[in-house]
């Protein structure tokens, strides 16, 4: 099967090489998203003197459905370029309304996938752990995945800069089982400049966590960073980009208590110490620091202790820890059997929170 990078990069290379070779005889023009992703059709549209599209026939409902199934499979295999071509050919033959609607829906999904995998991609990065109260530096990179330069122009003549709209969500967990969450947005301009194929334009956003000095929990905080990039004067080669580019998220765990680094270095050891000493803060911080492969097993252990009623001093912290590990506000009702089943089925490659 063709990979995302292989197929999408090949399609993008074909598109851009055709576009640039044909652009010498005509003034550059802004291209719509529709044109941007219709690679083979676009080659005919932008080359001077080349007649437009191929012959159109009439497809049956069964043929339209078959094309939609093929495009769906190509999307699930990570090949949006082939899915776009399948949909284009099918729609050129005018299938009946129901399969046409399905094909257009698939085309919208494939466009987004293609743009993100072959043109430009936004990505946030942040430290995995930090002390609450210290500034957090988040970096947002706009990666150029195309075979031609990506350029952000200087604001001029009514054109605003390309903006990073970073959405920050702060969720505080405490030993009493409380969870408090709030969100806000930080806006920063993308500096004018050019990124070669494979390179990136970067923006740094410093998040001030000291502003929450009066709301620091006896537990830990999780910051999530996501959002979008709003293009303005952003070009890939001679093509202007207008669609919002989503930012792939990042997260940071922040700890108000001193000594959290020691707990983070050996969370499973400190989880046992917290249980033995009846120290709820140590227990909850240790749970937050558990590596992905240990979370299900840790949840099973905590559920067993909670069921047996053997740690009344840290009962609320146990419930808070199970809520965090289970991402379920009703985790109090989770049975030991459920946690043990989860632990038995967990793989070492379990996704990092």
**Of 36 and 97, which is predicted with more confidence?**
97
Examine the pLDDT at 42 and tell me if it is beyond 70: no
Examine the pLDDT at 273 and tell me if it is beyond 70: yes
**Of 179 and 206, which is predicted with more confidence?**
206
Q: Can you tell me whether residue 151 is helix, strand or coil?
A: strand
pLDDT at 300 (0 to 100): 86
pLDDT band of residue 334 (cuts 50, 70, 90) is low
**Of 156 and 265, which is predicted with more confidence?**
265
pLDDT at 39 (0 to 100): 40
pLDDT band of residue 20 (cuts 50, 70, 90) is very low
Quick: pLDDT tens for 81-109.
888 899 999 998 888 989 899 999 999 88
Quick: pLDDT tens for 208-247.
999 999 999 999 999 999 999 999 989 988 888 888 899 9
pLDDT band of residue 78 (cuts 50, 70, 90) is confident
Mean pLDDT of 280-286: 95
Beta strand 163-174 pairing with 120-125 = unpaired
pLDDT at 351 (0 to 100): 43
Cα radius of gyration (the chain): 26
Examine the pLDDT at 124 and tell me if it is beyond 60: yes
Exposed, middle or buried: residue 27 (CB in 10 Å: 0-12, 13-18, 19+)? exposed
Which of 16, 275, 273, 283 is CA-nearest to residue 150?
A: 16
Beta bridge partners of 248: 123
pTM: 0.71
What mean pLDDT is reported for the chain?
A: 80
Cα angle 177-249-138, degrees, rounded to a multiple of 5: 95
φ/ψ of residue 37, rounded to 5: -100, -5
pLDDT band of residue 278 (cuts 50, 70, 90) is very high
Mean pLDDT of 50-55: 40
pLDDT at 134 (0 to 100): 95
Kindly state the percentage of the chain with pLDDT values over 70.
77
- All domains of the chain in start order, with CATH: 4-118 (no CATH), 120-255 (2.60.40.10), 260-345 (no CATH)
């Amino acid at each position: 099967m063709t990979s995302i990078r292989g197929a999408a990069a090949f399609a993008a290379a074909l598109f851009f090489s055709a576009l640039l070779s044909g652009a010498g005889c005509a003034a550059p023009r802004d291209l719509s998203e529709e044109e941007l992703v219709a690679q083979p059709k676009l080659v005919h549209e932008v080359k001077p003197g080349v007649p437009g599209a191929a012959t159109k026939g009439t497809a049956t409902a069964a043929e339209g459905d078959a094309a939609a199934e093929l495009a769906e499979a190509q999307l699930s295999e990570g090949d949006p370029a082939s899915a776009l071509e399948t949909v284009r050919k099918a729609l050129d033959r005018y299938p009946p309304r129901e399969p046409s609607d399905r094909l257009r829906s698939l085309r919208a999904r494939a466009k987004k996938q293609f743009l993100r995998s072959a043109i430009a991609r936004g990505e946030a990065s942040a430290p995995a752990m930090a002390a609450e109260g210290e500034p957090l530096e988040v970096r947002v990179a706009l990666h150029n995945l195309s075979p031609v330069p990506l350029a952000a122009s200087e604001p001029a003549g009514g054109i605003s800069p390309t903006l990073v709209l970073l959405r920050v969500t702060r969720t505080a967990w405490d030993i009493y089982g409380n969870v408090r969450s709030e969100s806000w947005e930080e806006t920063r301009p993308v500096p004018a400049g050019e990124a070669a194929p494979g390179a990136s334009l970067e923006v740094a956003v410093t998040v001030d966590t000291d502003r929450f000095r009066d709301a620091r929990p006896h537990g830990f905080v999780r910051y999530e960073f996501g959002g979008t990039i709003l293009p303005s004067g952003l070009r890939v080669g001679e093509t202007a980009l207008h669609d919002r580019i989503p930012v792939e998220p990042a997260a940071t765990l922040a700890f108000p208590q001193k000594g959290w680094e020691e707990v983070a270095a050996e969370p499973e050891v400190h989880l046992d110490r917290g249980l033995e000493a009846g120290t709820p803060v140590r227990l909850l911080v240790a749970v937050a620091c558990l590596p992905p492969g240990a979370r299900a097993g840790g949840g099973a252990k905590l559920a067993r202790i909670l069921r047996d009623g053997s740690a009344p001093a840290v009962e609320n912290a146990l419930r808070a820890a199970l809520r965090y590990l289970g991402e379920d506000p009703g985790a109090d009702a989770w049975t030991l059997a459920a946690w043990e089943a989860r632990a038995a089925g967990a793989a070492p490659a379990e996704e990092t929170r």
